């Protein structure tokens, strides 16, 4: 085929085929009338499932989460102009949460650019800051390059303007990462008495096989050397909560400080500062980072990094398994630290004066949900108890936007998780602010009849922001409070059964009823926000940066 003979249908078929070969199974989006209809048609003919959404941002979130769970590039579409602009938040989430996805948009073509001004935006300029690459796709042979860029060692979103008339671009280079010749970790481990392992997002990206191998290697190393392990939000479950070496959650906050101040060596496995609270790194112990990609966009760890070792993480860890290193940690040192943190969190949360406490909402759901249930967690104050108290035994049992921390994540993520793992019960923890941003996706949930239980922490407020407010200088209640909304009624109007819950016994019954169903349900739970400020203090030490 000559280059000038390519049509938008040719380009769509080539891109869909390349994604399908990489393992893509779904396409998400809101089509316009241009080339993305060709993508939908090509996808359906190739056996991919098209999921019509209500917003482009939600579609991009779904595609990114699907990419993270499967290791294959998630695929989303949007029309030009407003559709592309709406997708930016979801694309940014995929970038900072290191998720492989391809965002395909219609565009004003190069051949008509000078004549057409309607809906004309420089979409590549708009998408460049939130993607690993933003390109004009004009030749079918470029499809494999698009997939390769999305699934690079540090995965991320690639934005594609489908434009057969575009000049051939100079594509961004995607060179293989040269591994460091030798890791100093074996020698450092041999001399360490209290090594601590911090596992991050890089340990749970890539193919399923790669992730399984990393999980096995991490757990073997922890057991053989005697290393306590903290996992970031994204890496929860790499070391099961049931492991005696699991010390809980690592976010860069103060609740894990007592453990890290004791450490004489800190080993980061797939650790990326994009997940961490942007505070100064205070710990004196030397830091060794093992990852598939270098930490080249941050000086978060200051001068404590003695080596940033880049290569196949599983191989790097497996090379240490014959080490004679042995720590002085007691086998249950991790458990003791984790339980102490949970006790501090629980002590900070008072008994609810109305409705349920946020901790009750999480505890009861975890008690009643199937062991293999997946939780998705929105940004907001409710994430504080949800991320610490939702127990997991495997990776990807709790999903959150950690790098971007965007509201409106949990419901689209729950839809993607249910599609990626058919038959698995998903519990979607969201606040009234977060679910309010994606209410249209309740209809998507109803149409797909997925086994998702949406739990709305309803206190008619942006509670995390309220906890950070100055008593007089930050606008008071007008800045953070909504009027009450009956989300159960909204859900029912969208086709999702909804129940209003205001006490623990009613919540327990509602959850049991939901978990017996094959389809979705929304529980609108009255929550007392009184403990959020104290929980924030317990986890992060200082909540008000006035």
Q: What is the mean pLDDT of residues 490-504?
A: 97
Tokens of 485: 């909304």
* DSSP code at position 428: E
Give residue 2's pLDDT band: very low, low, confident or very high (50, 70, 90). very low
Report the alpha-carbon distance of residue 497 to residue 249 in Å, rounded. Answer: 34
Q: Which residues of 438-454 are buried (b: 16+ CB within 10 A; e: fewer)?
A: bbebbbbbbebebbbbb
Tokens of 317: 């860890």
Render pLDDT for 295-328 as a digit per residue (tens, 0 to 9). 988 889 988 999 899 999 999 999 988 887 889 9
- Partners of residue 52 on adjacent β-strands: 29
User: Do 3-162 and 185-336 show the same overall fold?
Assistant: yes
Beta strands, E only, 12-132: 26-30, 49-52, 74-78, 101-105
* DSSP code at position 134: E
Q: How far is CA 533 from CA 270, 354, 405, in A?
A: 31, 17, 19
How many C-alpha atoms does 318 have within 13 Å on its Cβ side? 11
The pairing of strands 265-269 and 157-162 is unpaired
The pairing of strands 26-30 and 374-377 is unpaired
The crossing angle, in degrees rounded to 10, of helices 487-494 and 441-448 is 50
Regarding the domain delimited by 349-540, which CATH topology (the fold level of the hierarchy) does it fall under? Rossmann fold (3.40.50)
Render pLDDT for 140-166 as a digit per residue (tens, 0 to 9). 999 999 999 999 999 999 999 999 988
The CATH superfamily of 185-336 is TPP-binding domain (3.40.50.1220)
Q: How far is CA 515 from CA 124, 366, 395, 413, 524, in A?
A: 44, 12, 22, 19, 16
> What residue segments make up the domains of the chain, in order of their start?
3-162, 185-336, 349-540
Give residue 545's pLDDT band: very low, low, confident or very high (50, 70, 90). very low
| Least confident range of 27-31, 253-257, 393-397 | 253-257
Per the CB < 8 A criterion, the answer to whether 522 and 487 are in contact is yes
Q: Would you put residue 418 in left (φ > 0), alpha (ψ -120 to 50) or beta?
A: alpha
Report the alpha-carbon distance of residue 309 to residue 485 in Å, rounded. Answer: 51
Render pLDDT for 220-274 as a digit per residue (tens, 0 to 9). 999 999 999 999 999 999 999 999 999 999 999 888 999 999 999 999 999 999 9
Regarding the domain delimited by 3-162, which CATH topology (the fold level of the hierarchy) does it fall under? Rossmann fold (3.40.50)
Tokens of 103: 């965002």
Report the alpha-carbon distance of residue 34 to residue 107 in Å, rounded. Answer: 8
Give residue 182's pLDDT band: very low, low, confident or very high (50, 70, 90). low
Give residue 546's pLDDT band: very low, low, confident or very high (50, 70, 90). very low
């Amino acid at each position: 085929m000559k280059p000038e003979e390519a049509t938008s249908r040719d380009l769509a078929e080539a891109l869909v085929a390349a994604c399908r070969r990489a393992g893509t199974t779904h396409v998400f989006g809101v089509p316009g009338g241009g080339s993305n209809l060709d993508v939908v048609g090509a996808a359906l003919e190739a056996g991919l499932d098209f999921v019509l959404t209500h917003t482009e941002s939600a579609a991009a979130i779904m595609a990114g989460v699907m990419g993270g769970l499967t290791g294959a590039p998630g695929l989303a579409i949007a029309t030009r102009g407003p559709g592309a602009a709406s997708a930016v938040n979801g694309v940014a989430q995929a970038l900072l949460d290191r998720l492989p996805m391809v965002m395909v948009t219609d565009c004003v073509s190069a051949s008509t650019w000078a004549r057409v001004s309607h809906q004309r935006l420089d979409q590549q300029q708009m998408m460049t800051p939130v993607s690993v690459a933003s390109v004009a796709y004009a030749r079918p042979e470029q499809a494999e390059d698009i997939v390769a860029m999305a699934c690079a060692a540090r995965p991320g979103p690639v934005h594609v303007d489908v434009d057969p008339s575009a000049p051939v671009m100079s594509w961004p280079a995607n060179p293989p990462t040269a591994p460091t010749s030798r890791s100093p970790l074996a020698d450092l481990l041999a001399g360490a008495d209290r090594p601590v392992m911090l596992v991050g997002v890089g340990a749970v990206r890539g193919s399923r096989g790669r992730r399984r191998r990393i999980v096995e290697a991490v757990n073997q190393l922890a057991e053989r050397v005697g290393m306590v392990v903290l996992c970031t939000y994204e890496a929860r479950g790499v070391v099961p909560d049931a492991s005696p070496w699991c010390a809980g959650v690592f976010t860069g906050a103060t609740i894990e400080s007592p453990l890290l101040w004791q450490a004489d060596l800190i080993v980061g496995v797939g650790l990326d500062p994009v997940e961490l609270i942007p505070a100064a790194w205070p710990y004196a112990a030397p830091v060794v980072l093992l990852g598939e990609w270098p930490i080249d966009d941050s000086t978060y760890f200051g001068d404590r990094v003695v080596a940033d070792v880049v290569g196949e993480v599983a191989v790097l860890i497996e090379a240490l398994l014959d080490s004679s290193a042995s720590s002085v940690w007691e086998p249950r040192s991790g458990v003791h630290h984790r339980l102490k943190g949970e006790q501090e969190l629980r002590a900070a949360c008072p008994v609810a004066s109305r409705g349920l406490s946020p901790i009750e909402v999480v505890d009861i759901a975890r008690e009643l949900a199937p062991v293999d249930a997946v939780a998705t967690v929105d940004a907001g104050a409710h994430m504080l108890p949800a991320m610490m108290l939702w127990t997991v035994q495997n990776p990807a049992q709790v999903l959150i936007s950690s790098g971007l921390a965007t509201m409106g994540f949990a419901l689209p993520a729950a839809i993607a998780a249910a599609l990626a793992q058919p038959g698995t019960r998903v519990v979607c923890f969201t606040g009234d602010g977060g679910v309010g941003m994606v209410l249209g996706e309740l209809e998507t949930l109803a149409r797909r009849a997925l086994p998702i239980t949406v739990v709305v922490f309803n206190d008619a407020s942006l509670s995390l922001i309220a906890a950070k407010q100055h008593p007089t200088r930050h606008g008071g209640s007008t800045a953070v409070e909504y009027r009450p909304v009956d989300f159960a009624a909204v859900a029912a109007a969208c086709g999702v059964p909804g129940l209003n819950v205001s006490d623990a016994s009613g919540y327990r019954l509602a959850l049991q009823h939901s978990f017996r169903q094959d389809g979705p349900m929304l529980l609108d739970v009255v929550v007392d926000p009184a403990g959020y400020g104290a929980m924030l203090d317990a986890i992060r030490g200082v909540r008000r940066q006035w």
